[in-house]
Amino acid sequence: MALVAVGQLTSTASMANNLRQCQLLVKKAVKAGARALFLPEASDYIASSGEETIKMAKSAQESEFLVGLQEEARREKLPIHVGVHEPGQDSRRVKNTVLWIDERGEIAQRYQKIHLFDVDIKNGPVLKESNSVEPGGQILPPFNTPLGKVASTICFDLRFPEISLALKRQGADIITFPSAFTVPTGKAHWEILLRARAIETQSYVIAAAQVGRHNEKRVSYGHSMIIDPWGTVLADLGGNDGEPEIATAEIDFELLKKIRREMPLARRTDVYPAV
């Protein structure tokens, strides 16, 4: 068994304030006895435009947010999984990435979001992430942690089961979905998709989410969740913004093995290709 914490906050264009929010979540996770903290997509900042998003991006070495969070991980000996922006290959776009910061404060893994959020919702938001974000080009294999093998995806990747199935096939015990879902899409699809990914991969799902109003243009749904391999919601932080909060749940390795042993999902790769 291993206790994990999932965090929820409202990032703005102030990296200093976002760091303070995350530092508070670290303190709460440590007090709860968690062995790792999972934070949302874009924890470092959410800007009001694509131009501002690009302008604010800093490398890992130059980001006061990331350096500060690494110091927290090192001081508390607490691994932190966090979504941030990093400069892209050229000056026109940034990378949307999620990092695993280990208990020494080192960046041990980095995943770049593959599927970008380009939507035009009737009576809702119009968001074209591809205008300012460059897509990643690969699914990274799960990596070893004190919690078992952790696999990273980001937000809109949730809608594509192929990624999760590929990660399960590579041995994932936990699949993460750090996110900033809009309110309309969150109400309609968030919990359904997360539970589906947990059930079809027989894995734990940890989904840290942004919540509340970031600026005059953007509001996030919240409802950070931890879900077990049977699809049971173990923790749900709800949709109210305010003070940053955590929820905790146990990763039960015996339950993971039991579900996979008693209901093996043997794919018919002789009929359809392996993912």
Query: What does the pLDDT read at residue 191?
Result: 98
Tell me the DSSP string of 166-218. HHHHTT-SEEE--B--BHHHIIIIIHHHHHHHHHHHT-EEEE-EEEEESSSS-
Helix H or strand E encompassing 75 = helix 64-76
Cα dist. 169→79, 195, 230, 256, 268 in Å? 25, 18, 17, 15, 13
Q: 179 is written with which tokens?
A: 């996110």
Let me know: does 96 contact 42? Beta carbons within 8 Å. Answer: yes
Task: Decide if 63 contacts 85 (C-beta within 8 A).
Answer: no
pTM of the model: 0.95
Q: Residues near 45 by Cβ (< 8 Å), separated by ≥ 6?
A: 11, 12, 13, 14, 15, 18, 53, 56, 65, 85
Neighbours of 143 (CB within 10 A): 15
Which of the residues are catalytic? 41, 113, 155
**Which single residue is written with the structure tokens 């607490």?**
78
Q: What is the mean pLDDT of each run of 10 residues along the chain (275 residues)?
A: 97 97 98 98 95 94 96 98 95 96 97 91 76 94 96 98 96 98 95 98 98 94 98 96 94 97 92 84
Question: Would you state the pLDDT for residue 124?
Answer: 67
* Model pLDDT, residue 122: 74
* Confidence (pLDDT) at 127: 76
